[in-house]
A and B are shown apart, each in its own frame.
Chain A
Amino acid sequence: MPSQSIWTLLSWGPDGWLDDIASGAMVTIALALATLPIGLTIGFFIALGKQSEEPSLRLASNVYTTIFRGLPELVTLFLFFFGMPILLQHLIRYFRPDATIDVNGFVAGMIVLALIFSSYASEVFLSAFRAIPKGQYEGSYALGLSNWQTMRKVILPQLLRIAFPGLENCWLALLKDTSLVSVVGLAETLRNAGVAARVTKHSFLFYSVASLVFLILAVLSSFATNAILRSLGKREAQR
């Protein structure tokens, strides 16, 4: 065993690696949080398209989910990370022949994770849409609300409450999928743990720490979702 003890390796500062892993964990959280609103928005619109009466809209949304749920996350990531620069380069060459494109790992990861997250979230939203009785639409129509008002004031509040447990699962899957972005070089938890493991030769220790980080994130998010569910339940009770 090398001279350093485990505790110096895990300390905060130049000798230890804890600060590197903590900054990686921050990147993981930032990536997941940045993906969440985009993914939720796209997923919601895909679900709207899927339950629309217009066949062409249904077809377009079904193709979307078939592709992004059918492809392995890693393949989607690589296609984007390596394919996007080539495509953009071809496009941009028409305007500026000497320009070169480099895709940022964070942005590529965000786009790919949003695509995957939205295709799973759309299924959750769709089943939530189906759980809302038709009378809700008819009632708000009878009250003279417009389509948009119906969606915002009547349907959406109920929809979110029904969809919440499913979306929680999607969020946990998203949190785990962020680790894949380490493969294209984003310095998140797993990547930094891998660097530490290679430098110090304590692979088992540092990969355990990385898995611990993900476990802690899962526990924290289950606390957060419980708190949100409780407050939703309270609001329900007040009515």
Chain B
Amino acid sequence: MSVTAAIVERPPPQARGWPRRRIIGYALVGLWIAFGLGIVAYLVLAWNAEFFAKYAPAYLKGLGVTLSLVAISMVLGAILSVPVAYGRMSNNPILSGLAYCYVYFFRGTPLLVQTFLVYYGVGSFRPELQTVGLWWFFREAFYCGVFAFALNTAAYQAEILRGAIESVPRGQWEGAASLGLHKLQTLRKIILPQALIVALRPYGNELILMIKASAIVAIITVYDLMGQAKLAFANSFDIQAYIWVAIVYLVMVEILRHGVEWIERRITIHLKR
């Protein structure tokens, strides 16, 4: 390739005039602009200081609930994902079978079903739970949401962790072994630093998915961001309740997405040529 590099490949000439795809493109962009202006115009026209004063603090509180729910379940899921990923990678057929079933169940069924299973399903064993002394936990919708979300995200995170660790070539393990490092040292000093670069983007996606999925807990009566929007809509029958909440979610997800991309650019600087 380098020998023939003298042949410079010119970029194709810019299309001039109004080819069909440009007309379609401008029309579509115009449609989006009209849509955006429509929403802004609606929000301005429907501006209701009373509505805002009444529900803005509630939304803020809901945002706090959403963020804490996601944060707690992400951390718990990360802790729980380590043994699951270990089981998936182990040679023991019983361990790996168990881990496989766990992952298959939580990735194969909807999160909504899992949340119902915990909140309504486990909650129906009230007398038994009371004798064990766990009823206080399963009585609270928020704890049930955290429980279901942590189990769910543990399955996804275990797969991310496994994929990342397996993406590191075997030679790295062997090289570390020949240097006399034991397994844990190898994992901590050699494998994980390389694996986490691979895992960063999937982890970011998982975080975004969790934030989006956390809207589900509104259905089991947790007053997170979505729950507050549901309440506001039920009280006022004003669709702007949902429009505001959509904007907040969209902004959150976009910030996270760009943040992850920025971090990825920063930590892969040494890999760039």
Q: Which residues of A contact B (CB under 8 A)?
A: 49, 52-61, 63-64, 66-67, 69-76, 78-79, 82-83, 86, 172, 176-180, 182-183, 190, 194, 197, 201-204, 207-208, 210-211, 214-215, 218-219
CB distance from A54 to the nearest CB of B (A): 5
Interface assignment of B71: CB less than 8 Å from any CB of chain A = no
Q: Which residues of A contact B216 (CB under 8 A)?
A: 74, 180
Judge whether A204 and B125 touch: CB under 8 Å: yes
Judge whether B112 and A190 touch: CB under 8 Å: yes
21 A-B pairs (CB sep. < 8 Å): A56-B29, A57-B22, A58-B25, A60-B32, A61-B28, A71-B246, A72-B211, A73-B212, A74-B216, A79-B243, A82-B233, A83-B242, A179-B113, A190-B112, A194-B116, A197-B121, A201-B124, A204-B120, A207-B117, A211-B109, A215-B109
Residue of A nearest to B218 (CB): A74
Judge whether B29 and A211 touch: CB under 8 Å: no
Judge whether B113 and A53 touch: CB under 8 Å: no
Judge whether A215 and B108 touch: CB under 8 Å: yes
Interface residues of A, dominant DSSP: helix
Judge whether A214 and B215 touch: CB under 8 Å: no
Residue of B nearest to A206 (CB): B121
Q: How far is the CA of A61 from the CA of B21 in the complex (A)?
A: 13
Q: Which chain B residues in 188-220 approach chain A with CB under 8 Å?
A: 211-216, 218-219
Q: How far is the CA of A204 from the CA of B233 in the complex (A)?
A: 31
Judge whether B29 and A214 touch: CB under 8 Å: no
- Knowing A203-B120, A211-B117 are in contact, say whether A86-B239 is a contact too (CB < 8 A): yes
- Knowing A53-B15, A211-B117, A214-B108 are in contact, say whether A75-B215 is a contact too (CB < 8 A): yes
Judge whether B249 and A75 touch: CB under 8 Å: yes
Interface string of B231-243 (1 = CB under 8 A from A): 0010000010011
Residue of B nearest to A59 (CB): B29
CB distance from B152 to the nearest CB of A (A): 11
CB distance from B258 to the nearest CB of A (A): 11
- Number of B residues, CB within 8 Å of A: 51
Judge whether A179 and B110 touch: CB under 8 Å: yes
Interface assignment of B133: CB less than 8 Å from any CB of chain A = no
Residue of A nearest to B115 (CB): A207
Residue of A nearest to B243 (CB): A79
Residue of A nearest to B256 (CB): A70
Residue of B nearest to A73 (CB): B212
Residue of B nearest to A177 (CB): B110
CB distance from B103 to the nearest CB of A (A): 12
In the complex, which of the residues B121, B214, B219 contacts A204, with contact meaning CB atoms closer than 8 Å?
B121
Interface assignment of B226: CB less than 8 Å from any CB of chain A = yes
Q: How far is the CA of A215 from the CA of B122 in the complex (A)?
A: 20
- Knowing A70-B254, A73-B212, A75-B246 are in contact, say whether A211-B114 is a contact too (CB < 8 A): yes
Judge whether A56 and B28 touch: CB under 8 Å: yes
- Knowing A83-B239, A83-B242 are in contact, say whether A54-B124 is a contact too (CB < 8 A): no
Q: How far is the CA of A66 from the CA of B250 in the complex (A)?
A: 8
In the complex, which of the residues B15, B117, B218 contacts A54, with contact meaning CB atoms closer than 8 Å?
B15
CB distance from A77 to the nearest CB of B (A): 10
Interface assignment of B75: CB less than 8 Å from any CB of chain A = no
Interface string of B1-22 (1 = CB under 8 A from A): 0000000000010010001011
Q: Which residues of B contact A59 (CB under 8 A)?
A: 25, 29
In the complex, which of the residues B12, B111, B114, B250 contacts A67, with contact meaning CB atoms closer than 8 Å?
B250
Interface assignment of B95: CB less than 8 Å from any CB of chain A = no
Interface assignment of B87: CB less than 8 Å from any CB of chain A = no
Interface assignment of B24: CB less than 8 Å from any CB of chain A = yes
- Knowing A75-B215, A203-B120, A203-B123 are in contact, say whether A54-B21 is a contact too (CB < 8 A): yes
Judge whether B250 and A71 touch: CB under 8 Å: yes
Interface assignment of B105: CB less than 8 Å from any CB of chain A = yes
In the complex, which of the residues A49, A64, A75, A214 contacts B110, with contact meaning CB atoms closer than 8 Å?
A214
Q: Which chain B residues in 240-272 approach chain A with CB under 8 Å?
A: 242-243, 245-246, 249-250, 253-254, 257
